[in-house]
Chains A and B, each alone.
Chain A
Amino acid sequence: MTLSLALNAPSAADQVWSVGQLNASVKRLFETHASKPFWVRGEILQCRVWSSGNWYFTLRDKGSQVRCCMFGLNAARAGKPPADGTEVYVLGKPGFYEEKGDFQLLVSRVLPTAAVGGQQQELERVKAVLQKDGLFDVDRKRPLPKFASTIALVTSRDGAALHDVVTVTRKRWPCARLYVVSARVQGEGAVDELVRALRLVNRIPRLDLCIVGRGGGAREDLAAFNSEAVCRALAAVRVPTVSAVGHEVDISLTDLVADLRAATPSAAAELAVADRRDVLRALDDLSGRLAASLVNRTRLAEERLGRTGDRLQVAIEGAIQARRSVADRFAAQLDALSPLRVLGRGYAVPFGDDGRVLKRLADFSSEKRFRLRVAEGDVRARVE
């Protein structure tokens, strides 16, 4: 919505705004065009804490000032209100107090610039030392196992990271076993607890992977993940590591030391474990190949059997032919040697009634009947 005001004297035809409409319109303008918070640097003046817990203060520089309000919850996290003259960064967005028509900055965080400077210096120091010792080297990075099934998760027992990793892992790869090594991830004692937890990880048997991380937080809440001790303990973990410090803008030093950086704990779980659906698809593929291979192999065996059968038939036919040739040869020889062949030349053989051959003169008594065999057959005969 755009704001347009008639500056001339109102006429009956013009629209006249009420104060309420005007302020509501201005408020909408702010809400539409300045919805994201940003950082502003200035000096604190007159910070007042109301009974509601809200802070009201002025932020100024040389030439300008702006009224600021920080509501109870954010104020409670910030601790003690800063003294007058403290140089600070504030994170806020413009707001418009409709009832009074006041412009103000709605602040969610206040950071003294001196503290930020000190933190930055320490971060640079640790980064330089770890870099010198090769903890960020690319050739140190180990590949993640394809099917991680036992995973250690170093995080806060009460944080969102635990819930997110469990949810994603349960959905993707429920065959996994998750070992939760809890540690405070921010505030006092966080560094010591993270170091102790990472050392404990090395004592878990048959481990595939370690995820260390936390859910989203403000920049100063991530300090433990930039500590030298935590980075060195992470580098000493004997299985591949994933750092998942849930802050979209900043990269923590554990992100640089770990074998893999994930933007959030959920993303870490997605990178760490396989997806059951992919594996089921792979099993379907293997199943298809297995069936096809057997069909193929059976077909090959049938073909081989067929070829063997053909060869056997040829062999048998050959053998029969050979035997037949031998038989024919013998038959021809027998035929040549047969005494009956002589009959073809005009000879005849006499046989008595008893079937004996009549060889002698005495065999032929007068009137004796006998058979005379000639080439074509027998002839009945009688002696005169």
Chain B
Amino acid sequence: MVRSESGDSPAAPLSEELSRLEEIVRKLETDDLELDAALVLFEEGVARLRAARERLAKAELKVQAVLEEAGGEIRLTKLDA
């Protein structure tokens, strides 16, 4: 059991976003898609690109100390480093 003071959990990895973006671009470049389907993929790609850029721009490193309590439980506390 892990307890975090901030209570938040790590966001979905950016690597997954990038993989999906790669897949979208590759499909648009190579697959013989109908225009409608291509437009849907294109819109998804634009939205994911925007989200990834925003995420990188706003990101702030989180540093937490990992402590083991007497009962064996792990506690995470914010660390100013």
Contact = CB atoms under 8 A, between A and B. Distances in A.
Interface of A: 145-147, 149-150, 152, 157, 162-163, 166, 169-170, 173-182, 196, 200, 203-206, 276, 279-280, 282-283, 286-287, 289-290, 293-294, 296-298, 301
Nearest to B1: A203
A90 to B, nearest CB: 37
A206 B38 CA distance: 35
A200 B62 CA distance: 19
A293 B61 CA distance: 35
Contact of A174 (B2, B38, B61): B61
Please name the 9 residue pairs, one residue from A and one from B, whose CB atoms are nearest each other, closest first: A293-B28, A147-B15, A174-B59, A175-B59, A170-B61, A174-B61, A177-B62, A166-B81, A178-B63
Interface residues on B, range: 35 or more
Given A290-B25, A290-B42, A293-B29, A206 B10 contact: yes
A201 B64 CA distance: 13
Interface of B: 2, 10-11, 13-15, 18, 21-22, 24-25, 28-29, 33, 35, 38-39, 42, 45-46, 49, 52-53, 55-56, 59-66, 68, 74, 76, 79, 81
A200 B35 contact: no
A162 B81 contact: yes
Contact of A294 (B11, B38, B52): B38
B14 A149 contact: yes
Nearest to B52: A283
28 contacts: A145-B15, A146-B15, A147-B14, A149-B13, A162-B81, A166-B61, A174-B59, A174-B61, A176-B61, A177-B61, A178-B61, A178-B62, A178-B64, A180-B64, A180-B65, A181-B65, A182-B65, A200-B66, A200-B68, A286-B49, A289-B25, A290-B28, A293-B28, A294-B28, A294-B39, A297-B33, A297-B38, A301-B35
B58 to A, nearest CB: 9
Contacts of B42: 290, 293-294
A301 B35 CA distance: 7
B81 A204 contact: no
A283 B66 contact: no
Contacts of B76: 179
A163 B13 CA distance: 25
A280 to B, nearest CB: 6
Contacts of B39: 294
Given A283-B49, A294-B42, A174 B28 contact: no
Contacts of B55: 175
A252 B60 CA distance: 33
Contacts of B81: 162-163, 166, 180
Nearest to B12: A149
A285 to B, nearest CB: 9
Contacts of B66: 152, 179-181, 200, 204
Contacts of A289: 25, 29
A206 B76 CA distance: 14
A297 B24 CA distance: 14
Contacts of A149: 10-11, 13-15
Contacts of B14: 147, 149, 175, 279
Contacts of B28: 290, 293-294, 297
Nearest to B21: A286
Contacts of B53: 280, 283
A283 B17 CA distance: 11
